[in-house]
Amino acid sequence: MPRDWDRYEAVTRAALDRLAWLEGRWSGEGSSYGRPLRGTLVARRILGDTLLEVRETLRLPDGTLDYEDVAFYRYEPAERGWKVTHIQAPAWVRERVVLLDDGGGLRWLAGPEEPVVRLRLDGEALVVEVRFPGQEAPASAMRYAREPA
């Protein structure tokens, strides 16, 4: 536990401002492995505004659940870096280093056999892509529009 808890909290909260572009409720469509999908993505600050929780739910055209996950983004002051804890069914939990792009957006660093996840703004749209090593096209690509508050 950090000795200066108040400073730690202030630093993590201030750092999270760099991900403010992602906050809100988003809805859109795209595809995964060639199947059309509709999705929602909800990003909100939690735990004293020191973590960003991002929940994504993808459904097939008939409404059947295809995929859902939750990711918790945080800044680690001691390491001066970003991390994400990713949880998806069936009980799959991984922690990744996150790189923030200078022009906005982020991507997860993964092992040689694992996908790279990238979130970025394209104009007003949020684009979420998952790419596996050795594949040209994304395995999953969703394009979201921000819902009115």
- pLDDT on residue 1: 54
The number of folded domains in the chain is 1
Rounded mean pLDDT, 71-89: 92
Per-residue pLDDT band at 2 (split at 50, 70, 90):
low
Rounded mean pLDDT, 65-83: 93
The domain in which residue 25 lies consists of: 5-146
Q: Identify the CA nearest to 43 among candidates 1, 72, 80, 13.
A: 72
Per-residue pLDDT band at 114 (split at 50, 70, 90):
confident
Question: What is the rounded CA–CA span in Å between residue 149 and residue 147?
Answer: 6
- pLDDT on residue 136: 85
Dig out the tokens for 85 from the structure: 């804890």
The CATH number of the domain holding residue 128 is 2.40.128.20
- pLDDT on residue 115: 87
Question: What is the rounded CA–CA span in Å between residue 86 and residue 7?
Answer: 26
Per-residue pLDDT band at 79 (split at 50, 70, 90):
confident
Q: Is the pLDDT of residue 116 over 70?
A: yes
Percent of the chain, pLDDT > 90?
73
Task: Give the residue with greater pLDDT, 117 vs 112.
Answer: 117
- Helices and strands counted in the chain (H then E): 1, 10
Q: Over the chain, what is the mean pLDDT?
A: 92
Q: Is the pLDDT of residue 6 over 90?
A: no
Q: Is the pLDDT of residue 113 over 90?
A: no
Cα 9 vs. chain centroid, distance in angstroms? 22
Rounded mean pLDDT, 69-75: 97
90 preceded by a cis bond (ω within 30 of 0): yes
- pLDDT on residue 4: 81
Give how far Cα 129 sits from Cα of 49, 62, 75, 118, Å.
26, 23, 22, 5
Question: What is the rounded CA–CA span in Å between residue 20 and residue 15?
Answer: 10
